[in-house]
Amino acid sequence: MTLARTWSVGLVGVRGALVEVELDIGQGLPGVTLVGLPDTVVRQSVDRVRAAVANSGGDFPNRRITIGLSPASMPKQGSGFDLALAAAVLAAAGTVPEGSIDRLVLLGELGLDGAVRPIRGVLPAVLAAAHAGHAQVVVPAGNADEAALVAGVDVLPVSSLEQLVEHLSGRRVIPAHVRGETPGPAPTADLGDVVGQAVGRRAVEVAAAGGHHLFLAGPPGAGKTMLAERMPGLLPPLDEEAALEVTAIHSIAGTLSPDAPLLTRPPLEAPHHSATMAALIGGGSGQIRPGALCRAHRGVLFLDEAPEFPRAVLDTLRQPLERGQVTIHRAAGSATFPCRAQLVLAANPCPCASAAGDAACTCSALERRRYRSRLSGPLLDRIDLRVELPPVTRAAWLDGLGEPESTAVVARRVQQARAVAAERLAGTGLLLNSQVPGRLLRERFAPPRSSLALAERALERGALSVRGFDRVQRVAWTLSDLAGRTVPGADEVAEALGMRLQRVAA
């Protein structure tokens, strides 16, 4: 047999695409031709496969070899094709039966000694294989638990090319991997650790209940970072579909821990303010990978010291925050990633950031204005809640010793409010108040006009934009859900308006 076929998977964004690997051994000068838009890493796989076959006791044919990767128009990237190429070489050379690989999907990187090494993106690759009707997938042993998350597919873990050859030859069959019990999520920081700051605690509860974006401003030590880091603990655990989606993103990004192959808690991403546009949104010169915003999908993206980020980098968040997904275009292709994350910004009141407050500030009015202007108006207009945190006083600290509410207590209220919102929004395909589009909000879910009088006056004065007016209504619905009311009243609208028009908006 001089022609062999098998299958592998290429990644396009967060989804996998089946790739047919064909290998032909023909007449002519010895050499290997690889076609099908392979990148540099895929081209180098020929040398890895040659060494791995030789060091595993096999013979790499010294003849003219043509390898085709179909569909030929799709760019192929990464080292995950190594195992499929090696199996096709061995089948075409007669080392293993050709029929043993023609329906098999193989994923894995080969070391020069024949070891099979873990790769990124195994979960979306196995999902693609399952959707295409393949019943067996060969993966590196280090990725076996991750691959076994997909139901209806036999996952065959291999640690070496020699082990795969023995399985394909029938000498030692590899049993399907059985995934062990998924470890529980690591404990999160508790909201009870936050001393005082009733306003900040209220803000993170409202943000978690309605899925709203949040901006916290205040002097150092006010608790901005502590509040933001505790917000994911207030969000409900991910359901099965959401957990697989989030896990697939982290698998592609290479941030998935082998000890926790399934992410069941909303993630928290907190990039440093020196992060580039590609690090925040996604990109890369080779394979397009998700950035911090995409890795925070269904969780929280926390940008501490937000004015220290380059303004151009922050402004790239505007469109993805509205759409819930980001499409990254490169010369070799494009990739789309979901990014429905909650944005939490934190900022000091001025560049000197004196812990003693405005009385000790040494910044001029112009310096303070320049510092605040690093956060553009269009970006701030997309933030539902803007809260100014005062310094923690001695009295507040003493009051904080009276057993503040824990994360578990607040999370129960958040879950109840989300359940009420989901029931009200049933039939719309929406789950959270923050997701309700303006037209639907005005046609079906507008609060009573008598309750909106204060917000309407702010709109007339120009203190609110039309987008801001809609966002005040969404926050008012969240406040109503937390209070157990059927519709927002004037008090809820007033509180929602106060959370948007605080001094941080100036």
Residue 108, domain member (yes or no): yes
Look up the CATH number of the domain holding residue 241.
Answer: 3.40.50.300
Look up the CATH number of the domain holding residue 41.
Answer: 3.30.230.10
Q: What is the average per-residue pLDDT within 250-264? A: 87
310 and 345, same domain (yes or no): yes
330 and 204, same domain (yes or no): yes
pLDDT at 402 over 70: no
Which contiguous run of DSSP H or E holds residue 479? helix 466-483
Question: Token pair for residue 289?
Answer: 């990978």
236 and 346, same domain (yes or no): yes
38 and 113, same domain (yes or no): yes
117 and 263, same domain (yes or no): no
Question: Token pair for residue 303?
Answer: 């940008």
56 and 91, same domain (yes or no): yes
Sheet holding 300-303, edge to edge: 268-269, 300-303, 342-347, 214-217, 385-388
Distance, in Å, from the CA atom of 22 to the CA atom of 89, rounded to the nearest integer, reads 9
Among the candidates 390, 406, 422, a domain finishes at 406
Q: What is the average per-residue pLDDT within 149-157? A: 94
Among the candidates 120, 138, 169, a domain finishes at 169
Which residues are bridge partners to 302 per DSSP?
A: 344
Residue 427, domain member (yes or no): no
pLDDT, one tens digit per residue, over 271-281 is: 999 999 999 99
83 and 210, same domain (yes or no): no
222 and 307, same domain (yes or no): yes
Q: What are phi and psi of 302, to 5 degrees?
A: -110, 120
Among the candidates 386, 406, 426, a domain finishes at 406
197 and 131, same domain (yes or no): no
Residue 430, domain member (yes or no): no
What domain count does the chain have? Answer: 3
Which contiguous run of DSSP H or E holds residue 14? none
pLDDT at site 354? 62
Residue 362, domain member (yes or no): yes
CA distances from 275 to 282, 375, 411 (A): 11, 16, 31
164 and 224, same domain (yes or no): no
Residue 183, domain member (yes or no): no
Distance, in Å, from the CA atom of 281 to the CA atom of 288, rounded to the nearest integer, reads 11
pLDDT at site 141? 94
CA-based radius of gyration for the chain: 27
Q: What is the average per-residue pLDDT within 175-197? A: 81
Q: Which DSSP state fits 227?
A: H
Question: Token pair for residue 195?
Answer: 């001393």
Distance, in Å, from the CA atom of 157 to the CA atom of 102, rounded to the nearest integer, reads 18
pLDDT at 505 over 50: no
Residue 424, domain member (yes or no): no
**Helix, strand, coil fractions of the chain, as percent rounded to 5:** 40, 20, 40
Which residue reads 């894995």 in tokens?
108
CA 245 to chain CA centroid, nearest Å: 8
495 and 401, same domain (yes or no): no
388 and 446, same domain (yes or no): no
Task: Please tell me whether the overall predicted TM-score, pTM, comes out greater than 0.85 for this model.
Answer: yes
- Domain of residue 366, residue span: 191-406
pLDDT, one tens digit per residue, over 287-322 is: 788 999 999 999 999 999 999 999 999 999 999 998
367 vs 83 pLDDT, higher one: 83
Which residues are bridge partners to 346 per DSSP?
A: 216
Residue 475, domain member (yes or no): yes
Distance, in Å, from the CA atom of 139 to the CA atom of 165, rounded to the nearest integer, reads 14
